């Protein structure tokens, strides 16, 4: 599913690069809510967030001719949104939040579809109860572990891509994801065995 999404995005980008304004409008419609949610993590005021989101999309439009599809489109535009958010805060003399992940969960936790997990821990049946438990365990993880896991498992980013977004070595990313998966496994196994005690 992620690959189809990436292909669709790249096809739209290519149309924009050829001057198709409607294709850009489709990209804006597709990502404006997620972009707003991301910027909102940095800037709390809705009006300011809207202004920064609009500025970010203008920057995307101006730079879209440089996009070559070497990374996922949403990764590329969210990097622009984060930079726009930080620049906005710096220009107004405000403190930039010290977030573990520069991208700070680009897609937002609310966009996750736990039914799309391709390799559920211990191959447990994905019942609603298990779904809820995984969601709770992920929510309770330390931010650095949660962010790395979500980018890997739900957004399908490679370790290299996550490393670049986070600004941490690949080994650190692998360790965080391993620890997050291990925590989920332990919690699910514990619940499973407690059920049959």
Considering the domain architecture, whether residues 86 and 18 belong to the same structural domain is answered as yes
Answer yes or no: is pLDDT of 138 > 50: yes
pLDDT of 178 reads 87
Closest CA to 26 of 37, 39, 10: 10
- For 83-105, write each residue's pLDDT tens digit: 898 889 888 887 765 443 444 34
Convert the pLDDT of each residue in 109-126 to its tens digit. 334 433 333 344 443 444
- 24 vs 150, residue with greater confidence: 24
In whole angstroms, give the CA distance from residue 117 to residue 126. 9
Q: Is residue 106 part of a domain?
A: no
Number of domains comprising the chain: 2
Question: Which CATH number goes with the domain that contains 55?
Answer: 1.10.1740.10
Question: Does any domain span residue 22?
Answer: yes
Q: For residue 69, what are the domain limits?
A: 2-91
pLDDT score recorded for residue 112:
40
């Amino acid at each position: 599913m992620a690959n189809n999404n990436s292909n669709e995005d790249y096809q739209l980008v290519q149309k924009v690069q050829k001057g198709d304004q409607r294709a850009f409008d489709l990209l804006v419609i597709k990502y404006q809510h997620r972009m707003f949610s991301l910027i909102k993590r940095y800037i709390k005021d809705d009006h300011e967030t809207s202004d920064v989101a609009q500025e970010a999309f203008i920057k995307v439009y101006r730079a879209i001719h440089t996009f070559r599809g070497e990374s996922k489109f949403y990764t590329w535009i969210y990097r622009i949104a984060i930079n726009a958010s930080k620049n906005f805060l710096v220009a107004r003399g405000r403190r930039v939040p010290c977030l573990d992940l520069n991208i700070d969960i680009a897609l937002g936790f609310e966009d996750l579809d736990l039914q799309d997990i391709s390799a559920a821990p211990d191959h447990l049946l994905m019942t609603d109860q298990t779904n809820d438990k995984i969601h709770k365990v992920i929510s309770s993880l330390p931010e650095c572990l949660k962010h790395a896991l979500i980018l890997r498992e739900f957004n399908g980013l490679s370790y290299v891509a996550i490393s670049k977004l986070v600004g941490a070595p690949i080994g650190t990313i692998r360790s965080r994801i391993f620890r997050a998966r291990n925590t989920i496994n332990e919690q699910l196994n514990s619940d499973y065995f407690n059920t049959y005690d």
